[in-house]
Structure 1
Amino acid sequence: MATKGQVKRKDKRRVVLKTGECQRKNGTYSYRWTDSKGKRYSIYAKTLEELREKEKEIVKAKNDGIKTEARYITVNELFDLWKVLKRGLKNNTFENYQYMYNTFVRNNLGKRRISTLKKSDVKRFYNYLADERGLKSSTIDSIHTVLHQVFEMAVDDNYIRNNPSDNVLKELKQSHIFQIEKKRALTKPEQELLLNFLKRNHTYSHWYPIFAVMIGTGLRVGEVTGLRWSDINLEKGIIDVNHTLVYYCHRQEKAKNGCYFNVNTPKTTASHRQVPMMGFVKEAFLQEKENQDTLGIECKVTIDGYSDFIFINRFGATQHQGTLNKAIRRIIRDCNDEELLKNKDTNILLPPFSCHILRHTFTTRMCEAGINVKVIQDILGHQDISTTLNIYADVTKELKNKEFKGLDEYFKKGNKE
C-alpha cells in the first residue's frame, strides 16, 4: 500500500498496481518478490488478471509452507538429491534404480519442474513407457518405485503438496496394457519330465544337480549360485542360507568400472535361514561333487573373501543367472523335440520357464502337500507373510478347482448308474 504523498503506480489502463507488480514495455505484466533468504524471483503473465491468479498461488504456497524455489526445481534435481540421501539399499538394487532412471526418465519426465507435475502427467508418462518404449510391467514398476520415493521426498521437504504418482501404477495395472501374466509353476508331470531328461541326457546331465537343488529347495538364484561346500551339512541334511551372489554393473563407481560379482547379505533378515534337504537334493550335491572330481574341476575364484563355491563352470568360476536361463531355453527345446519324436500327440511338454519359476515350482509342491503356511514362509525366506499367502491362495484355488472337477465327474458317473 502506498504511503501518504507517494504516487500510486498504475498500468496503461489506469489500474492501480500492487507492490511488486509491473507492466512491461510490451504490455505484459510481471511480479517480483524476495524469499526469506533474500533470493529474488519473478513471474510473468499476459494480463493483470492472470498475473494476480498466479500471485494467489504463490501466497497459498507460502501459507502451506511450500518452498518458493519449487517452481524452478526439476525432477532430475530432486532425483540427484535423493541419490545422495538414500540409504539401506543393496548395491545392485541401487545401481539398477539409477540405470532405470537415467535411461527412461532423465531426458523425459525428469526435465519437468516438480511444481508443474500432475497425476495425469505421470499416468501419461507410464503409458508412453508401455506403448512407445514397449516396457514390461515389471520394468515400469521399478521406475515407479524410484519416482514415488523421489516425489515423497519432495512432499516431505515442502516442494509439493501431494505425491503425483500415488495410486497411478495401481490404476494402470487394471487396464489391458498392464495385465500381468501370472507366473505358472511347473506341474508334477512337467517337473518329472525335466528332471528325467536331465538325468539321462548326456549333453545336459551336468546341469541336473543345480536345477534339482533349485526345484528341491526353493532357493533364489543368487542363493544357489552363492552356496559354498561349507554352507551345507550332508550328514544332517541342512543348507545354511547366509549370503547371496549378485552380478551387476558398477556404473557410478569410477574405481570399480564394469560388471562383476559381489557377495551380499541375504535379501531380508528372514532370508537368513536353514533349509532341510530332501533325499534327491542331497543326491544332487553328491553328484555335483562326483562330476567335479571326475573332470578335475575346482573353484578358482574368491569373491569378497568367499570361495569354495559349489556350483561352478568348467573354468572354476561361479555360475551366472544369464547362463543358467540360456541353458534352460536349450533344455526346453531339445527335451520337447525328443518327446515329440516319441509321440507327436503328447500333451506333456516343457513350457517356457526361468530359474525363478523353479522356486515357484517348489512353493507349489509344498502347498499341494499341505505344508503349514508359516513353515513355507520360513523355508522361502519371505519377510512378509502376505507374499506367502498370495502364492498359497493361488495354488489352493487351483487345487480346489481340480478337486471339484473330479467331484463333478463322480456325480455324473453316479447319475448314469
Structure 2
Amino acid sequence: MAVERRKDNKNRVLKEGEYQRANGSFEYKWRDKKGKRHSVYAKTLDELREMQIDVLRDVLDGIRADKNDITINDLYYRWMQLKRGLKHNTFQNYKYMYTQFVELDFGEMKVADLKRSDVRAFYNHLSDSQHLKTATIDNIHTVLHQVLELGVEDDYLRYNPSDNALKELKKAHNNDSDKRRALTVPEQDLFENFLSDQGQYHRWYPIFTVLLWTGMRVGEITGLRWCDIDLEDETISVNHTLVYYDKGGEERCGFSINTPKTKAGERSIPILPKVKEAFLMEKEYQKECGLDCNAVVDGYTDFIFINRFGGVQHQGTLNKALRRIIRDCNYEVLDKGEKEAITLPRFSNHSLRHTFTTRMCEAGVNIKAMQDILGHADAETTMDIYAEATKDLKKAELINFEAYFNTQKKAQIGTE
C-alpha cells in the first residue's frame, strides 16, 4: 500500500523535514551531528527550499547550525578565555583595541551575516570617518583576525572574512607613501649638532645619541641599567625592555619589565666611541645635579636614563621632546635666512633606529651582523629594511654616475 505524501494547502508534496504551519508559513526541521534539533522558517515554500540549500551546504562543510545566534562579540569573549602565551601588556593592548573600536558596534554583528565586504567597509570607516592611522587599524586587525579565525576553527565560519582586508586598505589608501623614513646624513648632522650645542636641549643629547648610534628600541634604552653596560669591554647587554601600558583594574597605567619579544632580542651590542661619550656625559650630568634613580620596576632599578624626579623616562616624554627640538632647530635654521637650507622632518624615536640601520646599509655592514645588532628574529625583516635603504643609495649613485659621464663627455668633445 502506497504511503500518502504530506502536502501543503496548495496540494504541493512536502519533502522530508518540511512542514506547513497553522498560519500558512513553512518550517524545515533537521538534526545536527550531535542529534540536536534545529529549525528554519519562511513565508513561502520556495523561500524555505532556498534556505534548505544553505542548511545542506553548512552540514556538508561542517558549519555549526547555531551560527545564526553567534555575534563577533561572542567569539571575542571566547577568544579571551582561550588565548594564552601573550605578554600581559600585549594582551591588555589587544583588549583595549577591541573594546574601544569594535565591541560597541561592529562586534554586535552576527557572524552568519559577515562578509569580506563588511570587514573592508569597517576598516574604511575607521580610516575615513574616525581618522585612525593605519598603524592603529593594524593593531585592531591583529586581534579581530584572531577572533574570526577562532570562528573558522569552531565551525561558525567557512573562511576568515578579514583575510587580506588590511593589505587592501593599505593599497587603497596608497599607504606606501607614509612609510617611516630615515634621516638623511645632512639631517642627522643638523640634529646632532643642534643637541651638542650648550643650550636648553643639550640635556637630551646623551639619550638621543645612544638611540641614534646603537639601533636599540626605545623600550630597551629606557629600561637600560648601569649594570647592563660595560664601558671597559665597550659592550651593551640587551636582555629586557621597559613598557608602559594600561594594566587594568585599580592599578590602571604603569611601567613593567618584559623580556624581549624573541630570543634574538637578547643580544650584545658594541659601544661606539660616541655612545661611550654619551654614557659618561649622562653620568656626569646626574652627579652635578645630584640626581639618583629612585624607580623600582618589577625588581629592576639603577636605570641609566632618568627624569628630574629620579623616575624612568617615558616614551611619550621623549617624543614630545623630539617635537620641540625639531621645531626650535628649524626656527634657528630659518632665522639664518639661507636659501635651500636643510631642516628637520617630523620623526619619532623609532625613526632613529631606522636611521642607524640605514647608515649601516650605506656603510656596507654585513646583513647577518645587522640582524644580530638590531635583534631581528627574522632575516627577512632586515632584508626589507636593507632593500628600502639601499634603494635611495642606488639612485644617488646613478645620479653621480650620470654627472661623471656628462663631465667626461664634455671633456672628450673639448679635446676634439
TM range (shorter): over 0.9
AA paired with 2:114?
Answer: L
SS of 1:274's partner is: strand
Match of 1:165 among 162, 165, 169: 162
Q: What is the distance in 2 between the residues matched to 1:154 and 1:339?
A: 57
SS of 1:174's partner is: helix
Structure 1 residue 19: Cα displacement: 4.2
SS of 1:239's partner is: strand
Which residue pairs with 2:43 in the alignment?
46
What are the superposed Cα offsets for residues 198-244 of structure 1, whole Å, 9 maximum, x if unpaired?
Answer: 11142111111000000010100100000000000000110000000
Q: What is the distance in 1 between the residues matched to 2:61 and 2:80?
A: 27
Q: What is the distance in 2 between the residues matched to 1:341 and 1:201?
A: 19
Which residue pairs with 1:150 in the alignment?
147
Match of 2:88 among 86, 91, 107: 91
Alignment partner of 1:113 is 2:107: no
Structure 1 residue 24: Cα displacement: 3.5
Which residue pairs with 1:394 in the alignment?
388
Alignment partner of 1:275 is 2:275: no
Equivalent residue runs for 1:206-285 within 5 Å: 206-251=203-248, 254=249, 256-285=250-279
What are the superposed Cα offsets for residues 107-145 of structure 1, whole Å, 9 maximum, x if unpaired?
Answer: 222112212212122112211211222111111111221
What residue ranges of structure 1 are gaps of 5+ in the alignment? none
Q: Is the 8 A contact 2:63 2:156 kept in 1?
A: yes
Q: What is the distance in 1 between the residues matched to 2:148 and 2:55?
A: 20
Which residue pairs with 1:191 in the alignment?
188
Q: Is the 8 A contact 2:63 2:158 kept in 1?
A: yes
AA paired with 1:410?
Answer: Y
AA paired with 2:253?
Answer: C
What are the superposed Cα offsets for residues 251-270 of structure 1, whole Å, 9 maximum, x if unpaired?
Answer: 3xx3x531000000012111
What are the superposed Cα offsets for residues 361-399 of structure 1, whole Å, 9 maximum, x if unpaired?
Answer: 110111111000110011000111111001101111111
AA paired with 2:359?
Answer: R
Q: What is the distance in 2 between the residues matched to 1:24 and 1:178?
A: 56
Which residue pairs with 1:409 in the alignment?
403
Alignment partner of 1:200 is 2:197: yes
Alignment partner of 1:318 is 2:315: no
Equivalent residue runs for 1:168-183 within 5 Å: 168-176=165-173, 178-183=175-180
Q: Is the 8 A contact 2:18 2:29 kept in 1?
A: yes
Q: What is the distance in 2 between the residues matched to 1:201 and 1:100?
A: 43
> Cα–Cα, structure 1 residues 329 and 201, in superposed 2: closer, same or farther, change >3 Å?
farther
Q: Is the 8 A contact 2:32 2:59 kept in 1?
A: no
Structure 1 residue 187: Cα displacement: 1.2
> Cα–Cα, structure 1 residues 178 and 7, in superposed 2: closer, same or farther, change >3 Å?
farther
Deviates more, 1:51-60 or 1:324-333: 51-60
Q: What is the distance in 2 between the residues matched to 1:53 and 1:177?
A: 41
Which residue pairs with 2:373 in the alignment?
379
Which residue pairs with 1:12 in the alignment?
9
Q: What is the distance in 1 between the residues matched to 2:407 and 2:338?
A: 31
Q: Is the 8 A contact 2:264 2:375 kept in 1?
A: yes
Q: Is the 8 A contact 2:333 2:341 kept in 1?
A: no
Q: What is the distance in 1 between the residues matched to 2:372 and 2:363?
A: 16
| Superposition TM-score, scaled by structure 2 size | 0.94
AA paired with 2:312?
Answer: T
SS of 2:178's partner is: coil
Alignment partner of 1:291 is 2:285: yes
Q: Is the 8 A contact 1:340 1:346 kept in 2?
A: no
Q: What is the distance in 1 between the residues matched to 2:21 and 2:268?
A: 75
The alignment-based identity, stated in percent, is 56
Q: What is the distance in 2 between the residues matched to 1:179 and 1:340?
A: 30
AA paired with 2:380?
Answer: S
> Cα–Cα, structure 1 residues 76 and 403, in superposed 2: closer, same or farther, change >3 Å?
same
Structure 1 residue 26: Cα displacement: 4.1
Structure 1 residue 69: Cα displacement: 1.6
Q: What is the distance in 1 between the residues matched to 2:23 and 2:198?
A: 83
Q: What is the distance in 2 between the residues matched to 1:26 and 1:352?
A: 69
What residue ranges of structure 2 are gaps of 5+ in the alignment? 412-416
Q: Is the 8 A contact 2:119 2:165 kept in 1?
A: yes
Which residue pairs with 2:362 in the alignment?
368
Q: What is the distance in 1 between the residues matched to 2:53 and 2:154?
A: 21
AA paired with 1:80?
Answer: Y
Q: What is the distance in 2 between the residues matched to 1:234 and 1:378?
A: 20
Q: Is the 8 A contact 1:122 1:165 kept in 2?
A: yes
Q: Is the 8 A contact 2:17 2:30 kept in 1?
A: yes
> Cα–Cα, structure 1 residues 379 and 16, in superposed 2: closer, same or farther, change >3 Å?
same
Q: What is the distance in 2 between the residues matched to 1:5 and 1:316?
A: 94
Which residue pairs with 2:414 in the alignment?
none
Structure 1 residue 37: Cα displacement: 4.5
Which residue pairs with 1:77 in the alignment?
74
Q: Is the 8 A contact 1:137 1:180 kept in 2?
A: no
Q: Is the 8 A contact 2:42 2:48 kept in 1?
A: yes
What are the superposed Cα offsets for residues 6-58 of structure 1, whole Å, 9 maximum, x if unpaired?
Answer: 76443221223334433334433222334355544332222111111212222
Alignment partner of 1:355 is 2:349: yes
Match of 1:343 among 319, 337, 346: 337
Deviates more, 1:392-401 or 1:30-39: 30-39
Deviates more, 1:72-81 or 1:209-218: 72-81
Structure 1 residue 63: Cα displacement: 2.3
Q: Is the 8 A contact 2:286 2:292 kept in 1?
A: yes
Q: Compute the RMSD of aligned alpha carbons.
A: 1.7
Which residue pairs with 1:126 in the alignment?
123
Q: Is the 8 A contact 1:240 1:275 kept in 2?
A: yes
Q: Is the 8 A contact 1:262 1:304 kept in 2?
A: yes
> Cα–Cα, structure 1 residues 179 and 50, in superposed 2: closer, same or farther, change >3 Å?
farther
